[in-house]
A = this chain, B = another copy of it.
């Protein structure tokens, strides 16, 4: 791999620009190329987090998603279109790497925890020197903002996607000591229904965009489902241990 650039996946944390690690900040500043996955017409959360740390001579490489919804009308297929997009994005990144330029891909939260960087990693890590810098993920950020310990002693923690079907959510949540349900958005009403049904409403907490400038917390019962963003979650902390 001599002469080639290195690929960095940098976790930049949940939203507050100060929640980036010292290491990610150092590598970001040192890399000549900064790449980021972003929806069409958006600035991107990860980009917003690190914007203040960019150098004048940083080359920016936005990798713009062609689709933002998983349900497309036929003959389109989300799986096919997104795979083709990642192929193309990986090619754009590799052009810089082949030219000997390091590329820092910035990732909201942590790169390997539901981060889209994974799909670039899976296409490039075998061919290029790759380093992933872990980041503060949204779950612990949410618990910090809410001021609630997440898991005591030997409790288990279950992290779920709100996209799951209602029966599966119910079955899984029923067995959890503590839980975090992510990716709420349009799934909120369904998830809240399950939480209520399981008698978890008293322990459950709701938070949107933890540590971002437009962070919002409110009682679960008071949430208007039509207002819930994708980056919202419900936390069910473990029962307090009187240690």
Interface residues of A (CB under 8 A from B): 9, 11, 13-14, 16-23, 25-26, 79, 82-83, 86, 110-115, 118-119, 121-122, 125, 130, 132-137, 140-141, 143-144, 147-161, 163-164, 172, 175, 183, 211, 240, 242-243
Residues of B near A115 (CB, < 8 A) are: 149
Whose C-beta in chain B lies nearest to the C-beta of A154? B161
Q: Is the CB of A112 within 8 A of B82?
A: no
Q: Is the CB of B18 within 8 A of A22?
A: yes
Q: Is the CB of B23 within 8 A of A16?
A: yes
Give the shortest distance, in Å, between A177 (CB) and chain B (any CB). Answer: 10
Q: Is the CB of A149 within 8 A of B243?
A: no
Q: How far is the CA of A153 from the CA of B159 in the complex (A)?
A: 12
Q: Is the CB of A156 within 8 A of B161?
A: yes
Q: How far is the CA of A113 from the CA of B119 in the complex (A)?
A: 27
Q: Is the CB of A144 within 8 A of B132?
A: yes
Q: Is the CB of B19 within 8 A of A19?
A: no
Whose C-beta in chain B lies nearest to the C-beta of A23? B18
Q: Is the CB of A149 within 8 A of B112?
A: yes
Q: Is the CB of B144 within 8 A of A112?
A: yes
Q: Is the CB of A243 within 8 A of B119?
A: yes
Q: How far is the CA of A152 from the CA of B114 in the complex (A)?
A: 6
Q: Is the CB of B20 within 8 A of A21?
A: yes
Q: Is the CB of A155 within 8 A of B149?
A: no
Contact partner of A159 (CB less than 8 A), chosen from B134, B156, B211, B243, is B156
Q: Is the CB of B147 within 8 A of A113?
A: no
Q: How far is the CA of A217 from the CA of B13 in the complex (A)?
A: 25
Contact partner of A149 (CB less than 8 A), chosen from B11, B25, B118, B153, is B118
Residues of B near A17 (CB, < 8 A) are: 22
Q: How far is the CA of A26 from the CA of B21 in the complex (A)?
A: 12
Q: How far is the CA of A206 from the CA of B242 in the complex (A)?
A: 32
